[in-house]
A = this chain, B = another copy of it.
Amino acid sequence: MGEVVAGASMSLDGFVAGPGESGFDLLFGWMGGGTEEVQTAQSGRVLRMSPASAKVLRAQLESTGAILVGRRLFDLTSGWGGMHPFGGPVVVLTHQPPAGWEDSPFTFVTEGIEAAVERAKELADGRDVGVNAGEMARQCLQAGLLDAVRIDLVPVLLGGGVPLFGEFGLDPVRLGTPDVTVSEGVTHLRYPI
**Residues of chain A whose beta carbon lies under 8 Å from any beta carbon of chain B:** 11-15, 18, 23, 26, 141, 149, 151, 153, 155-160, 163-170, 172-178, 180, 182, 184-185, 187, 189, 191
Interface of A is mostly: loop
A151 contact set on B, CB distance < 8 A: 12
- Asked if A184 and B174 make an inter-chain contact with CB atoms under 8 angstroms apart, the answer reads no
Give the CA-CA distance A87 to B185 in the complex, in Å.
35
- Asked if B172 and A178 make an inter-chain contact with CB atoms under 8 angstroms apart, the answer reads no
A185 contact set on B, CB distance < 8 A: 177
- Asked if B165 and A159 make an inter-chain contact with CB atoms under 8 angstroms apart, the answer reads yes
Shortest A55–chain B CB gap in Å is 16
A159 contact set on B, CB distance < 8 A: 165-170, 172-173
Give the CA-CA distance A166 to B160 in the complex, in Å.
7
Cβ contact of A156, chosen from B166, B175, B180, cutoff 8 A = B175
Shortest A168–chain B CB gap in Å is 4
A163 contact set on B, CB distance < 8 A: 13-14
| Known interface pairs A155-B177, A160-B167, A165-B159; A172-B23 also in contact (CB < 8 Å) | yes
A15 contact set on B, CB distance < 8 A: 14
A157 contact set on B, CB distance < 8 A: 141, 149, 164-165, 168, 172-173, 175
- Asked if A26 and B172 make an inter-chain contact with CB atoms under 8 angstroms apart, the answer reads yes
Give the CA-CA distance A180 to B155 in the complex, in Å.
12
- Asked if B156 and A174 make an inter-chain contact with CB atoms under 8 angstroms apart, the answer reads yes
